[in-house]
Amino acid sequence: MTATCLVVDFGAQYAQLIARRVREANVFSELVPSSITAAEVAERKPSALILSGGPKSVHVEGAPRLDPAIYELGIPILGICYGAQLIAQQLGGEVARGGRGEYGRTTLQLASPDTGAGVDGEGLLADQPTDQVVWMSHFDGITRAPEGFVATASTADAPVAALESPERRIWGVQYHPEVSHTPHGQQVIRRFLHDLAGIGADWTMSSVIEQQVAAVRAQVGEGRVICALSGGVDSAVAAALVHKAVGPQLTCVFVDHGLLRKDEAEQVVETFQRHQKIELIHVRAADRYFERLAGVTDPEDKRKIVGELFIRIFEEYAGGLEDAKYLVQGTLYPDVIESGGRDGAATIKSHHNVGGLPEDMTMELVEPLRNLFKDEVRRVGEELGLPDEIVWRQPFPGPGLSVRIIGEVTPDKVAMLQEADAIVREELRKAGLEREIWQAFAVLPDIRSVGVMGDERTYAHPIIIRAVTSEDAMTADWAKLPYDLLETMSNRIIGEVAGINRVAYDITSKPPGTIEWE
């Protein structure tokens, strides 16, 4: 049985990040709501608990609490920010109301061992610098540790910035070790998990593959399985993982709507049909899509048309596989979290890879990636031998290029955007920046501008380049690409793509903007 660390979410913006940091320490983690009871925790038998931060004050009426009986289970607990304050308050310490909060980079001082309450070789902060920078984000602060606890670190405005009770197996820090702004933060998390909670670093992508192969085989048996390939990373890795488990029992249906990036449809066919030897039904449906999209300019209408037509076409071809009882879905852990499924509920984001399959479908879902984050899915893909062109493919909207073309979608516009977009991605790859950028792409707006090419006046389309950095797409910052790289992209697009005479660069972050334009 895999050792698990439960991350109790008190509404923190960093809760998912804590779960990811635990996994980076090679320990499996799951997010659970703060309403979880001691009985529910005991039933799940976790090896450790981490209490997340939260936006509320522990003194506010209705602020989330932890079931006090959880502290008596003997499970190692680490409280972070609000979680640390909750430990102090619930176990008899004091948390100041208001006072002077701390936000951003703050200098932390570790207590000296000769004080009798300092950091020694056994504590949470062992082997760390006496003075270090940490990331704070709190208004209230712990002013007195509960009986049986010692304060092992402080800041100018937080007398108890870290507290420990090894006898009770409970530790807490007022700062955020999970963020990159705390240089020694991951050391804290690893120390808690491996040295204090005694969990081995044995959760790896190889072990994930072994577990999921066994799980898929147990679920499917000898049954026929189908998968709707979208051309994206998630469905591709899910298909490869299921194929490893059941081989020829899997058939993939790839609906090629003509709205993918340049050469991507060919890459999908090449990878799955020729290299992976997976049975693949390649449906060339571009003409049907362009016919339905003719004259449509509203982005929501485009999304609905693309999604609904995908379903209808998938149904047509899946109907020829009457014995198929199982449908592969590339559901990821963030989908489960966002849909409220993290507390054990069965609710998931409905069939996000295929746009929303009908409610009356009788096939049973196979979701081999539902416990994984995006970066973990990529690592699984690499372990399974999928090529970089598939594994490191950037996130791509379900409706494809239809929502990167502002206004009506036509074959000519798609071809124009495919060429410009390919140049953006090729130059980014040449510059060695491809994996540092969350998404980089071209947008074709529904406007024209005057230009001069040679001695002639032009009246043609502009291309807008969009490139962002992000960890999870919830927020994003525009990428500070080098000027010479932008210049190369611009010169190539204008020189090589007919119908384009101007290039602009979008420098809007999210928020206030979105990553995509539609």
Q: Are residues 46 and 154 in the same domain?
A: yes
Structure tokens at 202: 């044995």
- Cis peptide bond prior to 33, omega within 30° of 0: no
Task: Write out pLDDT tens, residues 130-155.
Answer: 999 999 877 788 989 999 999 999 99
Quick one: pLDDT at residue 119? 57
- Please report whether residue 513 resides in a domain: no
Q: Is 81 a catalytic residue?
A: yes
Q: Is 176 a catalytic residue?
A: yes
- Please report whether residue 515 resides in a domain: no
Q: Are residues 187 and 211 in the same domain?
A: no
Contact 165, 128 (CB under 8 A): no
Q: Are residues 146 and 289 in the same domain?
A: no
- Flag whether pLDDT at 345 surpasses 50: no
Quick one: pLDDT at residue 353? 42
Q: What is the mean pLDDT of residues 1-5?
A: 86
- Flag whether pLDDT at 401 surpasses 80: yes
- Flag whether pLDDT at 349 surpasses 50: no
Q: Model confidence at 487, in pLDDT bands (50, 70, 90)? A: very high
Quick one: pLDDT at residue 358? 52
State which of 332, 363, 391 marks the end of a domain: 391
- Flag whether pLDDT at 361 surpasses 80: no
Quick one: pLDDT at residue 330? 87
Q: Return the HEC string of 35-52.
A: CCCHHHHHHHCCCEEEEC
Quick one: pLDDT at residue 346? 31
- Please report whether residue 403 resides in a domain: no
Quick one: pLDDT at residue 100? 63
Q: What is the CATH number of the domain that holds 238?
A: 3.40.50.620
- Flag whether pLDDT at 383 surpasses 90: yes
Q: Return the HEC string of 124-187.
A: CCCCCCCEEEEEEEECCEEEECCCCCEEEEEECCEEEEEEEECCCCEEEECCCCCCCCCCCHHH
More confident residue, 85 or 13: 85
Contact 260, 394 (CB under 8 A): no
- What phi and psi, each to the nearest 5 degrees, are found at residue 357? -70, 155
Task: Write out pLDDT tens, residues 363-376.
Answer: 788 999 999 988 89
Q: Model confidence at 338, in pLDDT bands (50, 70, 90)? A: low
For 249-276, b/e burial (b = at least 16 CB within 10 A) is: bbbbbbbbbbbbbbebbebbeebbbeeb
Q: How far is CA 194 from CA 3, 24, 48, 168, 362, in A?
A: 11, 12, 10, 17, 44
Q: Are residues 65 and 84 in the same domain?
A: yes
SS3 assignment, position 225: strand
Q: Are residues 295 and 264 in the same domain?
A: yes
- Please report whether residue 93 resides in a domain: yes
Q: Return the HEC string of 451-510.
A: EEECCEEEEEEEEEEEEEECCCCCCEEECCCCHHHHHHHHHHHHHHCCCEEEEEECCCCE
pTM of the model: 0.78
Q: What is the mean pLDDT of residues 94-115?
A: 76
**224-233, 284-293, 412-421: which has the minimum mean pLDDT?**
224-233
State which of 167, 196, 225 marks the end of a domain: 196
> Distance between the two ends of the chain, CA-based, in angstroms?
44
- Flag whether pLDDT at 464 surpasses 90: yes
Task: Write out pLDDT tens, residues 8-55.
Answer: 999 877 888 899 999 999 999 999 999 999 999 999 999 999 999 887
Quick one: pLDDT at residue 116? 45
Tracing tokens 């808690």 back to the chain, one arrives at 192
- Flag whether pLDDT at 351 surpasses 70: no
Q: Which amino acid is at 219?
A: Q
Q: Are residues 311 and 365 in the same domain?
A: yes
- Flag whether pLDDT at 307 surpasses 90: no
Strands 449-453 and 456-469: antiparallel
More confident residue, 350 or 511: 511
Quick one: pLDDT at residue 28? 95
Mean pLDDT of the chain: 88
- Please report whether residue 44 resides in a domain: yes
- Please report whether residue 396 resides in a domain: no
Q: How far is CA 511 from CA 252, 337, 468, 476, in A?
A: 37, 21, 12, 7
Q: What is the CATH number of the domain that holds 429?
A: 3.30.300.10
Catalytic pick among 176, 243, 257, 282: 176
Q: Are residues 69 and 165 in the same domain?
A: yes
Q: What percent of the chain stands above pLDDT 90?
A: 63
Q: Are residues 469 and 337 in the same domain?
A: no
Q: Model confidence at 113, in pLDDT bands (50, 70, 90)? A: low
SS3 assignment, position 316: helix
Q: Are residues 443 and 344 in the same domain?
A: no
Q: What is the CATH number of the domain that holds 186?
A: 3.40.50.880
- Flag whether pLDDT at 466 surpasses 80: yes
Which structural domain, as residue segments, surrounds residue 422? 410-505
**Distance in angstroms (rounded) separating the CA atoms of residues 420 and 404:** 12
Closest CA to 442 of 458, 460, 462: 462
Q: Which amino acid is at 503?
A: V
- Please report whether residue 518 resides in a domain: no
Beta-carbon contacts of residue 172 (< 8 Å; ≥ 6 apart): 51, 78, 79, 80, 83, 84, 87, 88, 142, 162, 163, 164
Task: Write out pLDDT tens, residues 168-182.
Answer: 999 999 999 998 889
Q: Please give the distance of CA 93 from its chain centroid, rounded to a whole number.
A: 37
More confident residue, 28 or 453: 28
Catalytic pick among 5, 30, 81, 227: 81
Tracing tokens 């996994």 back to the chain, one arrives at 23
- Please report whether residue 84 resides in a domain: yes
Q: Are residues 132 and 20 in the same domain?
A: yes
Task: Write out pLDDT tens, residues 181-218.
Answer: 899 999 999 999 999 999 999 999 999 999 999 999 99
State which of 163, 196, 229 marks the end of a domain: 196
Give Rg (Cα) of the chain: 26
Quick one: pLDDT at residue 231? 78
Tracing tokens 């798609």 back to the chain, one arrives at 414
Q: What is the mean pLDDT of residues 109-131?
A: 76
For 112, how many CA atoms within 13 A lie in the half-sphere containing its CB? 2
Q: Model confidence at 1, in pLDDT bands (50, 70, 90)? A: low
Quick one: pLDDT at residue 319? 67
Q: Are residues 364 and 447 in the same domain?
A: no
Q: Are residues 260 and 333 in the same domain?
A: yes
Catalytic pick among 30, 102, 164, 178: 178
User: What's the structural domain count of the chain?
Assistant: 3
Structure tokens at 8: 């109790």
**Distance in angstroms (rounded) separating the CA atoms of residues 369 and 354:** 16
Q: What is the mean pLDDT of residues 425-435?
A: 94
Tracing tokens 């399985």 back to the chain, one arrives at 225
SS3 assignment, position 78: strand
Quick one: pLDDT at residue 141? 85
Beta-carbon contacts of residue 484 (< 8 Å; ≥ 6 apart): none
- Cis peptide bond prior to 511, omega within 30° of 0: yes
Q: How far is CA 345 from CA 32, 77, 330, 337, 411, in A?
A: 11, 25, 18, 10, 43
Structure tokens at 363: 């096939």
